Amino acid sequence: MTIKLKDKERLDDLSRNGYRIIQNPEKFCFGMDAVLLSGFAWAGPGESVLDLGTGTGIIPLLMEAKTQAGHLTGLEIQEESADMARRSVALNGLAGKIDIVTGDIREAGGIFASASFDVITCNPPYMISDHGLVSPHRPKAIARHEILCTLEDVVSQSASLLKPGGHFYMVHRPFRLAEIITALTSHRLEPKRMRFVYPFVDREPNMVLIEAVRGGRPRMQVEKPLIVYQETGVYTQEIYELYGY
């Protein structure tokens, strides 16, 4: 299928099933955190998946390629990003498998039926207002700082939309881990699996991947560390495999 690109847009190869994604580097492009989350998350055959704050649709596209999910939905508040996501879905011939909905995460419980998803994923804004510099470019600012939604919004809406026993997956920053665990357990999303991501083997972790289960019993597994670089500019084998190289 031929899809017309708009000004400043480009096509990027996802190295999965021949899929490509439309992005505008002047707005916001997906990062490694989205790729890592799509490798950490899982959906069983026929399961329904919701990605909160999907941006240009990277996580639904990658999870469609990596899992046997029955149907995937991306929710995105910025219409320009949602439009790119829809065109990427069409470009890859996935219009019957992936839906992109324009809407606010804070209102997700009114957009979708309660307890209607088996799996929810989210790569949320990491920073609160006083953490670091806020980008002057609004799309990037919204993606990185809690301007249009908070951690509490993401967790509370996910708890409402997940089926009992459903799985929630998120990538975030380790410095907010205590807050993350508190938010999850307060909404009966029991943390079950966690993995720290380290840029180098001798550095502190800069990302954390978390899986929680709605109504799950207390018991969490901490998986082996995920190391990104074996040396400057050279990924570890596991990272190359996650990218599909």
d(CA 192, CA 21): 32
d(CA 63, CA 74): 11
Is 4 domain-assigned? no
DSSP tag of 224 = P
Is 1 domain-assigned? no
Q: Model-level pTM greater than 0.85?
A: yes
Helices vs. strands in the chain: H and E counts, helices first = 8, 13
Which residues does residue 231 pair with via DSSP β-bridges, in sequence order?
Answer: 234
Is 49 domain-assigned? yes
Q: So what's the pLDDT on residue 69?
A: 98
Three-class secondary structure of residue 30 per DSSP: coil
Q: So what's the pLDDT on residue 130?
A: 54
DSSP tag of 107 = G
Q: What is the pLDDT along the chain (245 residues), one digit of tens a residue?
A: 678 899 999 999 999 999 999 999 988 899 999 999 999 999 999 999 999 999 999 999 999 999 999 999 999 999 999 999 999 999 999 999 999 999 999 999 999 999 999 999 999 986 565 554 444 445 544 444 345 689 999 999 999 999 999 999 999 999 999 999 999 999 999 999 999 999 999 999 999 999 999 999 999 999 999 999 999 999 999 999 999 87
What residue numbers bound the domain in which 58 lies? Answer: 10-243
Q: So what's the pLDDT on residue 133?
A: 44
* CATH number where 101 lies: 3.40.50.150
Per DSSP bridges, beta strands 48-52 and 117-122 are parallel
Is 2 domain-assigned? no
The upper half-sphere exposure of residue 18, i.e. CA atoms within 13 Å in the direction of its Cβ, equals: 5
Is 3 domain-assigned? no
Is 5 domain-assigned? no
**Residue 29 burial by CB count (10 A; 0-12/13-18/19+): exposed, middle or buried?**
middle
Three-class secondary structure of residue 74 per DSSP: strand
Q: So what's the pLDDT on residue 229?
A: 97
How many domains would you assign to the chain? 1
d(CA 193, CA 175): 18
Is 220 domain-assigned? yes
Is residue 205 within 8 A of residue 197, CB to CB? The reply is: yes
Which residues does residue 50 pair with via DSSP β-bridges, in sequence order?
Answer: 73, 120
Is 168 domain-assigned? yes
d(CA 15, CA 12): 9
Q: So what's the pLDDT on residue 142?
A: 44
173 token code pair: 């920053």
Q: So what's the pLDDT on residue 245?
A: 79
In 3D, which of 115, 141, 114 has the Cα closest to residue 128? Answer: 141
DSSP tag of 185 = H
